[in-house]
A and B are shown apart, each in its own frame.
Chain A
Amino acid sequence: MKNLKILATVILATLSFASCSNDDDLPEVIHEEEIITTMTVTLVPDNDGTSTVTLKTQDLDGDGPDEPTIEVIGKLVTGVTYNGTILLENETENPAENITEEVEEESLDHQFFFTIGDGLDVTIAYSNFDSADNPLGTAFTLTAGDASSGLLTFTLRHEPTKPNTGLDDAGGETDIQESFEIVVE
């Protein structure tokens, strides 16, 4: 019986301890540091006569139900070569965080792929590389061919097999993927 008494005391003590936990504190809000909300592809022509083309996709709620908004400003001009750069940002942070810097720091673990859809006449070449001289692709050159239109898709793979011959044997998982409707005039 004595054991029972001791036990009951222990239990009461623990219960009163447990019920004292403070549930008045509100939980801390989490800033998602890793999400990419925005990709801006800037295509700067290498001659002065034509204008810059900008491709932008933005999805501020991450995995939430809102779909990304896609914007294409400008048209490509036949025969012109453009210097392309890709800016990845997390705009849930203030000021927006530049994710391209992180990708470039971990260049061995990343690669951009460019998929040229049916009908579109452009050629793309990598202009930056990782420390092992394999393509990275946050900078590239795009040469516009004949007048045409079609989809141009940018895919960023995380931990791909490097080197590779393209998306098919690159493996890894997709960090970002977006298709833009492109017109060459």
Chain B
Amino acid sequence: MRAYTFVILLFCSIASISQNCNSTLFGSVVDLHDGSNLAGAVLIVESTEQVVVTDLAGKFTIPNLCNDKYLIQVSHAECRTIGFVVEVKGDTSKAFKLEHHLEELNQVIVSGKAYKSTTKTIFENTLSKSDLERFSSGSIGDALNSLSGVSSLNTGNLVVKPMINGLHSSRVVLINNGVRVQDQEWGAEHAPNIDINSVGNLTLIKGAGALQYGGDAIGGLIVAEATKVPVKDSIYGKFSSTAVSNGRGVSMNSQLTKSYQSGWYTTVQGTLKRFGDFEAPAYVLSNTGSFERNASLQFGLNKFNHGFEVYYSIYRNKMGILRASHMGGSEDLFRALQSDKPLVINNFTYDINTPKQDVTHHLARVKGFRKFHDFGKLSIQYDYQRNKRLEFDIRRGEDKDDASLDLQLDTHSVMLDLDARLNDATNVKSGVMARYQNNFADPDTGFLRLIPDYNKYDLGLYGIATYKWSDNWLLEAGGRFDFVHMNAFKFYRNSFWESRNYDKLFPEIVIPETVDGQFNSQVLTNPKFDFYNISATIGVVYSSGAGSKFLLNYSLASRAPNPSELFSEGLHHSASRIELGDLRFKSEIDSKFTLTFQQENEKWSFYISPFINTINDFILIEPIGIQKDLRGSFQVWEYRQTEAQLLGLDMDASYVFSEKLRFQHQFSWVRGYDRTRKEPLINMPPVNTKNELVYQNKSFSNLRLAVQSEYVFRQNEYPDNDFQVFIPGLGATKEVAISATPDAYHLLNFKSSMDFRINKKSKVKIGIVVTNLLNTTYRNNLNRLRYYADDLGRNVLLNVKFNY
């Protein structure tokens, strides 16, 4: 590239004849796309060989020029070098525009700028490619867990569901490459179906403010985007592999990108992960292995004012669920709670037996955009997703190897978005979305359907405006309307239908039997629901010149009840409880105020964000009594709507001791309260704090050493759900203590990495990570399997990454 420019320079340079040579050329170097200033750009004046570098504001000054034409070569680390011909007449100002793109190989200088921010008045946490690569062998939930205010609801160590400020599942929306992921996310035991290695940038928004994606993200939004491909002739790739001691497994990921100056590009990527049983400090966690296979393909054309992209990804994950977590009645639960180790411990194996999950997620997307001069950018997108979820329980007889849950969810969506710049100060984003979804529960399982067959139609309309009042003040306001129609076919047990009084309340939805006994003591119903949901956001940002920023945001969000909240009716094995939904539920309405203060300078940075979240008709599940059937006694948990309030505070701080040493601190606290019952909400994350010391020496093979301490307090606020039950095996009534939370714990983690350059274009990064360094025995309040087993013991990970 440089040689090419040089040739142009040779042919084009104009010999300068010195005459009146005290003119000055000044101006700035800016990004062609968003107009941001580029610091550190190098300008070389061909004929005089003057070299200047732009300052932090992207400004430059070249003195002592003659009134003449000059060829100036402008280069920047993240841009293609371009030669400009400039005519100087006296003191001349000039803005050079460079096409600013990331370069995959130089990740050190990757900044968040290549990715657009989604909201202006809610602080966005981001994880860049280099952050994400440290979690390459884990899951997206593990990576998000490293941010303040994010915890996770786990089922073992493989099912990691992100929890934002105490909320999870249907209240957290996941966007993968512009597509809202539809992967049966209502289930607390359903991990997000997304490959962490396909993600180039991950943004977290703690609130419902990003209305373009939906108005129901009461907890927040997670936006995953693929790595941006530069517009230049290039071919590059990477291969990374991690060997993991705990689980005795390996994770491999490979990616290859070909791009062209003309804007065409294509990327292929694949991931393979295989683990055996994981281990707690004292024993093997039997049947916790996994086998994950993912691939993605992306190609498209990216011109400055138009483009399109086709994206396809497949995610397949087979996961064992701790054998000791499969329960019969309350007696089994009582035995499990009494025991300090799992009731089933076998030798280590790579085999994945029942209970297990086998999930496949396909995502296909086509999108196109066009920029209209003086008008804005129009984008259109169609996506299709197919989610296939198989869950296998411990069964008997001929059906032993058959799934007991077999769901297929197909989703089609179309979106049309317009991003218009009305004037220098005002920007308006608006759009429409239509979605059709079909859920099919395969009857061959031989088990009553957990979730019924249904068709669901969504229609959404939104508009968001931002107004830049002055250099310091920015206002944002937006609104969204969603219409949701759901048409389901659901079988109820006669006994449940009548005990719920549904036969009096909803006689009109019953489909009568055409032959007596056709439905086998069940009632077939056709419930139809219409939800009209309004959501809105309003906020303001004040930025002082001195690196400090205030953000204040109010968001109103509405969420329609999910299928599990509406239709549940039966036994949940791993919780040993019967769960009941309710057809009468209304939408949840949430009001959240978030205040953020951010201060940054060369030495230290500080971020604090308190919030208050008030949710009307919050849907929660709680115990209502004991029910006996032939398998024993079970606690019955029923969904209920209540008035809930969540208060919390997230804090981040870092201090730079020297160029090589820095300290990072994180603190999160959240308190959830049921205002109707005047008791704490269940499953709230305990107060936790992370402190990390990082040593990085760029001149010594970019050596990076980090020691992290993670302290999780005991959760002292929880509702009392203990119950008394007669245990026939003991001939006595006993208390089943399921409420008490585990003790506080402290974990030490160690991370290290070094880079080695092989040649001009290739680089190898080697990293060693040790988690739970001291092999501490602990249980986590938010792990659903905490009743049955300890959490993971020490894990040593060796990672090798090769960029070429």
Contact = CB atoms under 8 A, between A and B. Distances in A.
A177 B396 contact: no
A11 B329 CA distance: 50
Contact of B629 (A14, A63, A115): A63
Contacts of B301: 3
B762 interface: no
Interface string A69-101: 000000000000000000000001000000000
A37 interface: yes
A65 B627 CA distance: 7
Interface in A1-44: 1, 3-4, 7-8, 10-11, 14-15, 18-19, 21, 23, 26-34, 36-37, 39
B428 interface: no
Interface in B614-655: 627-632, 634
B396 A106 contact: yes
A139 to B, nearest CB: 19
A49 interface: no
A173 interface: yes
A30 B518 CA distance: 11
B394 A102 contact: no
Interface stretch (B417-425, B443-451, B468-476, B707-715): B443-451
A23 B528 CA distance: 13
Interface centre among A29, A66, A173 (most CB of B within 10 A): A173
B482 interface: no
Instruction: Place the interface of chain B in its size category.
Output: 35 or more
Interface centre among A103, A159, A171, A179 (most CB of B within 10 A): A171
Contacts, number: 174
B418 to A, nearest CB: 13
A107 B578 CA distance: 29
Interface centre among B452, B629, B632, B731 (most CB of A within 10 A): B629
A151 B628 contact: no
A100 to B, nearest CB: 12
Interface stretch (B87-95, B277-285, B486-494): B486-494
A67 B627 contact: yes
B310 to A, nearest CB: 10
A29 B326 contact: no
B306 A3 contact: yes
A62 B368 contact: no
B236 interface: no
Given A4-B380, A28-B443, A59-B630, A21 B438 contact: yes
B728 interface: yes
Contacts of A28: 443
A167 interface: yes
Nearest to A161: B344
A178 B631 CA distance: 8
B658 interface: no
B630 A15 contact: no
A118 B731 contact: yes
> Sorted from nearest, which 10 A-B pairs have the closest CB atoms?
A174-B328, A153-B728, A173-B328, A64-B493, A61-B495, A64-B495, A28-B443, A11-B382, A65-B499, A102-B397
Interface of B: 301, 306, 308, 326-329, 331-332, 343-344, 366-368, 370, 378, 380, 382, 384, 394-397, 399, 412, 414, 434, 436, 438, 441, 443, 445-449, 452-453, 455, 487, 489, 491, 493-496, 499, 511, 518-522, 524, 570-571, 578, 627-632, 634, 728-729, 731
7 contacts: A15-B436, A29-B518, A30-B443, A33-B399, A65-B627, A102-B397, A179-B728
Given A30-B449, A61-B521, A177-B729, 5 more contacts: A4-B368, A4-B380, A15-B436, A34-B399, A105-B397
